[in-house]
Amino acid sequence: MTDADERADDVAERAAVATRAAEAGAAVAREGFRSDIDVETKGEDDVVTEADRAAQRAVIDEIRESYPDDAVVGEEEDERKTVPEEGPAWVIDPIDGTHNYVRDIRVWATAVAAVVDGEPVAAAIVAPALGDTYTADATGAYRNGEPISVSDATEPRRATVDPTIWWAYDARDEYARACEAIVTRFGDMRRLGAAQVVLPTVAAGGLEGTITNVAANPWDTVAGVFVIRQAGGRVTDLAGDRWRHDSTGLVASNDALHDEVLAAARAIEDPN
């Protein structure tokens, strides 16, 4: 077997583990959805539940069965918070969209990305309350096992864009400018409230783009960014350079409208 074959087999196995791990975490989270679950405040405006912690443990347990020594980057508990630049790692979010989750809104997901030397090689995003599982590997991007691709829209007025992540209360002027930048440039706006649902929705053509000017956490983004790229989309930072897990700003699009989506993102900080 050649080195290329070995690498391909390794990526395929990591993709399979990512899917199993995301499914395991999503199953745990689904059990607590729309139940009388305690909600705690984390920071000024974030929330967490025991379902987040239990789902993360389920994700990690599944990963550890196959890769006991790999680094894990996770939102909850004591997992590391940065993506290593060398070696294999896993970036996980047990419940992305917890604000939706605790309000009994179905738009939330469990996300798992396999990363090697700082770059994602496989991803799985399971949104059990929506009935959707998104996966991406070396062969492409899929929803419920069927290939997906980004929208072919080329006219801004036929595009819908989402302002993603979240702006702190002391940055609501930026949130307002993000909304204005979208509604004055594109046909419509959505705010789904869960980045790891928004990003694969761009990949599947349901949205033409999504924007933020903040430095997003890797667990909120890495899996979904990889799904978009494998579906033919484009993801950059505010400078227009290729997005990385440590970038400031995230601009994702169907590629055809990327210049317009990027201009909207830049208008958040410089509206003139």
Same domain, yes or no, for 18 and 133?
A: yes
The parent domain of residue 170 ranges over 156-266
Least confident of 52-56, 106-110, 138-142, 237-241: 52-56
Instruction: Provide the CATH number for the domain around residue 210.
Output: 3.40.190.80
Question: What is the rounded average pLDDT of the residues 46-73?
Answer: 92
Closest alpha carbon to 148 in 207, 221, 210: 207
Instruction: Map residue 103 onto helix, strand or coil.
Output: coil
DSSP state letters, 238-259: TTSSBP-TT-SSEEEE-STTHH
- Domain assignment present for residue 122? The answer is yes
- Domain assignment present for residue 272? The answer is no
**Structural domains counted in the chain:** 2
The model's pLDDT over 212-248, given as tens digits with 9 standing for 90+, comes to 999 999 999 999 999 999 999 999 999 999 999 999 9
Same domain, yes or no, for 109 and 142?
A: yes
Question: What is the rounded average pLDDT of the residues 164-187?
Answer: 93
Residue ending a domain, among 124, 147, 170, is 147
Instruction: Read off the pLDDT band of 3 (50, 70, 90).
Output: low
Provide the 10 A C-beta neighbour count for residue 247. Answer: 19
What angle separates helix 222-230 from helix 195-203, to the nearest 10 degrees?
A: 0
Where would I find the H helices in 122-238?
A: 172-183, 195-203, 222-230
Q: What is the pLDDT of residue 114?
A: 98
Residue ending a domain, among 147, 179, 201, is 147
Least confident of 164-168, 208-212, 214-218, 261-265: 164-168
Question: What is the rounded average pLDDT of the residues 8-28?
Answer: 96
Question: What is the rounded average pLDDT of the residues 252-264?
Answer: 98
Q: Is residue 44 over pLDDT 70?
A: no
- Distant-in-sequence, close-in-space partners of 114: CB < 8 Å, separation ≥ 6: 11, 14, 15, 17, 18, 88, 89, 90, 120, 121, 122, 123
Q: What is the pLDDT of residue 61?
A: 97
Instruction: Read off the pLDDT band of 91 (50, 70, 90).
Output: very high
Name the β-bridge partners of 163: 211
What mean pLDDT, rounded, does the chain reach? 93
Query: How far is it, in rounded angstroms, from Cα 200 to Cα 38?
Result: 29
- Domain assignment present for residue 79? The answer is yes
Residue 235: phi, psi to the nearest 5?
A: -135, 125
Q: What is the pLDDT of residue 1?
A: 63
Instruction: Read off the pLDDT band of 272 (50, 70, 90).
Output: low
Report pTM: 0.94
Q: What is the pLDDT of residue 37?
A: 78
Instruction: Read off the pLDDT band of 80 (50, 70, 90).
Output: confident
Question: What is the rounded average pLDDT of the residues 16-37?
Answer: 95
> What is the β-pairing status of strands 132-137 and 119-127?
antiparallel
Residue with tokens 């000017």: 213
